[in-house]
Each structure stands twice: as structure tokens, then as C-alpha cells.
Amino acid sequence: MPLSDLVNTFGQDLLRRHGRRVHKLAIHAGFSCPNRDGSKGRGGCSFCNNVSFSPNAKALPDVAEQIAAGRRVVRRRTRAEIYMAYFQAYTNTYGDVARLGALYRAALAEPDVVGISVGTRPDCVPDAVLDLLCELRDAGHEVWLELGLQSAFDATLARVNRGHGFEAYRRAVLAARGRGLAVCTHLIVGLPGEGQREARASLERVLALGTDGLKLHPLHVVRHTLLAKEWRAGGYQPLTMEQYIATACDLIEHTPADITYHRVTGTATRDILLAPDWCAKKWAVLNGIEAELRRRGSAQGMRVGERIAA
């Protein structure tokens, strides 16, 4: 039984709605991040790898070239026909609206690109950006706004130097969904000082405000980060794979079945991953989540409404 029989995955949702499998192509459009350049904060989030930061936009291939390269790679492995362009690297709404519009439109101008996903911080989505995304959606494209919340606890967000609190997320998600924009919320499991209970509480606060999609990610320690220093000094203990799988399954069970899971785990490449080692093994984690849900006789939505144990 595939995971998509137990979890409402974004891949299956796209397949149902577009009639063909939709493949994601990651775009690095040369954005920076306001949590690094001082406009919102300095130093960046403690878990954010900064080696490839300060990208020189001129050195990057343009959007159409990146899509062409991604398309070639995906087609070698699959019979891909249509794509979503995922503006993934750093803060993809951090720029003036004319520049953003040109980048997003360049992706959507490709005849086989059916939509865009735009990853960003909740404190970086002014009305003008939301209006631009609505304009693209109203032109018939699939448009997702991906908001990195990570935790609903302000103390945790401060501890990882996130540079925004839950209130920024509340404002952004209400403004976006108030316009009918689809929002995918990112949550990290295993943040410093957090356990299963905090992960559940973050999910509950996200669900109470409303969201259309979720992405779960285990916190991993990668090179050239503040978290790496903390971990080396013994100040941070990463999750075991079993702990992550148990928590991810809990979150999935407590998520209403109509919300799509864009991701239930995340990986880091071996060249930058320091810990935990299992974060390099995506399929082991996905298979583990599927096996655990089956062992529980459970699936997405099966425990919606259950309160967090006191």
C-alpha cells in the first residue's frame, strides 16, 4: 500500500486535478533573505546553511534555463510532461513587485509549467505580493504560497533566531487565505527545546487559523550553521529516526484529510549533513512513516479532534 493511500499527498492531489503527474522543478532565482541582511535580523536562522548564501544573481542561469535543465534531468528518470516551478531558495518574495512578477511570469511562460510554488517567510508577504500572486492565479495558473513557520512557539522561534513570531504568520496566512490563495505551511519537528507535545501544539495552532497544505521536516544539523556549533558543544540533541517517525505519524493522524501534505520528511545531502545521519535517507523515513501508520491501523485524519494529553 503506497503512502498516498494513507496520506493526502500533494503529488496525488496534483495528479487528480491535472490528469497527469506534475513534477516539481526547484528554482534558485537569486533572492537573499531579510533575516541576514539586517532588514529583519542578522545571522539568519540557526539551522540555515549559509555557504551558498549571498548568491550572485548574475551568475545564476535565468529561470527559463533552470527549468530547461531541470526538465532534462527529470525526463531522464520519468515520463514527465508537466511541471510546477518551485521558487525554493531563500526568501522568494524579497524583492520589488516588478522583479517578482517578471520571475514568476518567466516560469509560467513555459508551456509545460502549470503553476508555481513560492517559498517565503511570513513577515515578507506584503499586500502587493499577495495581489500579484492572486493575479497569476486568476489567469488560470496553479499558485501556492509556502510559508515557513517552523514552530508556533515564539520562544522557540527566538531561540533559532528566526526573526519573526507567530503573529507574523497569523497575519500572513489570514491575508493570503482571505484572498483565496492556497497556503502551504512548513513545520520543523525536533527544534531545540521542543518535543512531540510542542509539535502537536504547533499543528493545532496552524489548523485553527486554517491552511491548505503542510510540509514537515526533521531538524537536521548542517555545516556552517549556528546550530552546528550548538550541536558540537553538546547543546542540541537531534531526534532519532524512530522519534521523528512517531511524531510525524501523530501529526498526520491529527490533520484533517482534506489538507494536502506536500512533504512528510526532508533530507540534506551528505556533503553538508552533520547529524542525524538518517536525514540523508529519505526513503527509509518515508517507508518508516507508512509502516508506522499501518501498524497503528491509522491514516491522515483518523485522530482529528483529539486533545493534546495534559
Q: Which residues bind ligand SF4 (CB under 6 A)?
A: 33, 35-36, 44-45, 48, 90-91, 121, 148
Nearer to ligand SF4 (CB atom), residue 122 or residue 288: 122
Nearer to ligand SF4 (CB atom), residue 44 or residue 70: 44
C-alpha to C-alpha distance for 273 and 223, rounded to whole angstroms: 6
Shortest Cβ 127–ligand SF4 spacing (Å): 20
The answer to whether residues 41 and 67 touch, using CB atoms and an 8 Å cutoff, is: no
Nearer to ligand SF4 (CB atom), residue 148 or residue 190: 148
Shortest Cβ 263–ligand SF4 spacing (Å): 15
The answer to whether residues 114 and 81 touch, using CB atoms and an 8 Å cutoff, is: no
Q: Which residues contact 310 (CB under 8 A, 6 or more apart)?
A: none
Nearer to ligand SF4 (CB atom), residue 90 or residue 236: 90
Shortest Cβ 66–ligand SF4 spacing (Å): 18
Rounded to the nearest 5 percent, the helix, strand and coil shares of the chain are 40, 20, 40
The grid cell for 81 is 510532461
Nearer to ligand SF4 (CB atom), residue 34 or residue 301: 34
The grid cell for 67 is 527549468
Spell out where 81-163 has E strands.
82-87, 113-120, 142-150
Q: Can you spell out the DSSP letters for 219-245? A: --EESSSHHHHHHHTT---PPPHHHHH
Shortest Cβ 291–ligand SF4 spacing (Å): 31
Strand, coil or helix: 109: coil
Nearer to ligand SF4 (CB atom), residue 54 or residue 287: 54
Instruction: Find the helix or strand (DSSP H, E) in which 16 lies.
Output: helix 10-18
Nearer to ligand SF4 (CB atom), residue 36 or residue 220: 36
The residue written with cell numbers 521542543 in the block is: 194
| Helices 97-108 and 127-138: angle between axes, nearest 10 degrees | 20
C-alpha to C-alpha distance for 102 and 239, rounded to whole angstroms: 41
Shortest Cβ 240–ligand SF4 spacing (Å): 24
Shortest Cβ 90–ligand SF4 spacing (Å): 4
Shortest Cβ 32–ligand SF4 spacing (Å): 8
